[in-house]
Structure 1
Amino acid sequence: MSSSENGGEGGGDPSSSAPDNTNATTNEAFWTQDSAFDTAEDVTDVELLKRAWRNEKAAPEILPFRRNLVERAREQIQLMEDTIAASAESGTDDLMLSLYRMDLDRTLFLLRSYLRTRLLKIEKYVLHVLKSEELWNKLSEAEQKFAQKCTDALQKHLEQSVLSRLPYGYQSMLRQAISSEEDDMVPEPKLDTFVFCKIRDAIGSVQMDEKGEDIVNLMEDDFFILRYKPIQRLVETGQIDLV
C-alpha cells in the first residue's frame, strides 16, 4: 500500500507512522522507573521476573519493558549454564546437578513466557501501538523492530489480497471508509476490563470513576477486583500487582 493511496484515504501510512525512536527522554523515564521498581524490595530477580510475568499476562495492555530485570535474568541464566557445565565436569552429585537444572529451567520459562506474552500483545495491537508515542516507548528496541516488521508484513498482505481490489475510499487498513473521522479499524486494548489485584503498599483512597462517586481505600496486602484503567499507573510503578 503506497503512502499516496493511504493519504487519499485519510488513513495514513502505518509503516511510516511509528513514533520517533530518538525520544530518549521518555525511554529513560521508563528505564529509571524500572530500576526503582527492581530494587524496591529485598527479593530475588526470579521473584521480580515472576511478578513482571504475572502483571504482563493479566494486564489488558502492554506494560513498560523491564529492561534492567531482563538483562540481569539473562546474565544469571548464562551463569547458571556455566555453573552446570563446570559442575558436570568436576563430577558433582547428580542430585545437585538436577536441582541446578530445575532452577535454570524455571528461570528460562519465566523469561521466555514474559517476552512471548509481550510479542503476542504487540502483534495483536501493533497498529494501535504505532499510533502512540507513549506505547511505542514502552517497547524494547528489539520489540520496536518487531512491531515495524509486523506492520510492514500486514500492510503488504492486505494490499495484495484485499485492499487493491476494493473501490476508492475503502482501501485503508485503518479506516472503514474515507468518510470515517477516526481510525475505526484499529484494535485497541480494553482498559476498562476488571482485573484481580493485590495491593503491595498502602495507597489510600483512589477514585475509580470520573464523577468521584466510587472511591476505594487501597491498603497493603488487600485483594480487590477492580477496573484496570484507574489503577493503570499504580501497576506500572509496582504499587499494585495483578494476580
Structure 2
Amino acid sequence: MTEESIRLEVARYRPGQDEEPVLVPYEVPLRPDWAVLDGLAYVKDRLDGTLSFRWSCRMGICGSCGMTVNGEPRLTCGTFLTEYGTGPVRVEPLKGFPVIRDLVVDIEDFLAKLSSVRPWLVREGEEPPLTTEYAQTPAQLDAYKQYSMCVNCMLCYSACPVYVLDPDFLGPAAIALAQRYNLDSRDMDDRFDVLGHEDAVWGCTFVGECTNACPKHVDPAEAIQRYKLTAALRSVLPWSRR
C-alpha cells in the first residue's frame, strides 16, 4: 500500500545570490501525527540537505520554529499537515523580518526591542542581582501571569500590520513583556520613557491580529490598550504611576 503524501511548497532564498525567493515543491508523507515541522525535517533529511530553518524544542515552548504557513504566522511544531487537507502547504519565512536564508529570519531588531523595555524587576535603591525575596499573593501573580506566557516566537510581529510597515514600532511582544513587569507587585518601574511615545503604544492601531496569532493566548493587544490608559493618565497627571 502506497503511503499518502502532501506537497510542501517551501520558500528558498539566499540573499546576495538569488534575485528573489522562489517556492520549491517537495512531496512529503502525510501522516496524522506529523506537524509542518516534521515535513520540513523530512525534506532536509531525505530530499534536500541545503534547506535552512530554525527549530529547537518541538513542543511549542522555545518559539523558534515560527514561519508563515499558507499565509498565516504559525508555530510549525504545532501546525499539523492534516489541517490542510490534500495540500499544498506553502511555507515561507515570517513577514516583516529580513531573510538570512530560506526560512531563517534576522531577529536582532526583535531582541533589541525586547531588551529596551527593561525586562527584569526594577527596585529603587537596590542593585542587581536582587537577593531579597518578596512574597506574592495568588491575586498578585494573576495580575501579570498571562503576559508572562510569551515564548518570543515573533508571530505577533509578523501578523502586525503596523510593524510590517514601520520597523521602528516597538511591537506587541515587547509591550506585553513591559506590562508583565509593570503589573508585577515587586517591580517599582513604569517604563513610561519606553512605552509612552509614538513608536510604542501610540503607534498601535488596535487591529488585534497580534492577539489572534499568539499561540500562548498572551493577548498583547489588551496589554497595549491597558498601557495606553496608563500613559494617558501619566501625561495628564505626571505624578501618577501605573
Which of 1 and 2 has greater Rg? 1
TM-score under structure 2 length normalisation: 0.24
TM-score under structure 1 length normalisation: 0.24
Query: Of the two structures, which has the highest relative contact order with CA contacts closer than 8 Å and spacing of 6 or more?
Result: 1
Report which of the two has the higher share of strand: 2
Report which of the two has the higher share of helix: 1
